[in-house]
Amino acid sequence: MRPTERTKVKRVPQRGIYDIEVINAILDAHFICHIGFIHEECPVVMPTLYGRKDDRLYIHGATTSRMLRSLQEGIQASVGVTLVDGIVLARSAFHHSMNYRSVILFGKARLISDGPEKWKALKVISDQVLPGRWEEVRKPNKKELKATAVLSFPIQEVSAKVRTGPPVDEKEDYELDIWAGVLPVRSMMETPIPDPQLKSGVAQSKSVLDYYNKIT
């Protein structure tokens, strides 16, 4: 994917990645993004869930949402996703850093008004968070669907930026008696906690068991 003026990584350009397979892999590894846009002449950044399918990124929310109402007007927006893999501890305060994988996307959102497409997009978002959960739960009814807006972003003007490896210190600092290295960071699910109002005898759902067993 060819970078544009907006997506070209300028600070430490060697960390910039424009390969769509790498970009999609980063997007698929998470489910929370931050969306930046202008609302009433004020810059706003909002966190939200997302789902990716092929070359589209989907988000959803209440039809009354300030963010969704603004985005469906066709304004320019940016979407950011960041995964932190480690805290990089250098010998100097200046050279501390992070190992990370990030994606920045620019574009205009499209409101999905087609019923079947909207249904599929909601399933994509659900599967991004917890695969298999959509098949286990009650599906949205007409009233809930009407109250929910779903938007689609094209994954076209996009780039990734990745840092890996140990700290990079000044040559003379390698002689200092200061520990340096990487403190790995891992995001993981913990033991599921049942709803206090869960009916007696209801077994833990397969989607939760499968996800929990996969990471433990």
Range of the domain at 43: 13-215
Q: Supply the CATH number for residue 207's domain.
A: 2.30.110.10
Phi, psi at residue 90, to the nearest 5°? -95, 180
Distance (Å, whole) CA 207 – CA 212: 8
- pTM (2 decimals)? 0.93
Q: Is residue 192 part of a domain?
A: yes
Distance (Å, whole) CA 178 – CA 90: 8
Predicted confidence pLDDT, tens digits, the chain (216 residues): 788 999 999 999 999 999 999 999 999 999 999 999 999 999 999 999 999 999 999 999 999 999 999 999 999 999 999 999 999 999 999 999 999 999 999 999 999 999 999 999 999 999 999 999 999 999 999 999 999 999 999 999 999 999 999 999 999 999 999 999 999 999 888 888 999 999 999 999 999 988 877 655
Neighbours of 73 (CB within 10 A): 11
DSSP per residue over 151-164, as a string? EEEES-EEEEEEE-
Number of folded domains that form the chain = 1
User: Within 13 Å and on the Cβ side, how many CA atoms surround 36?
Assistant: 8
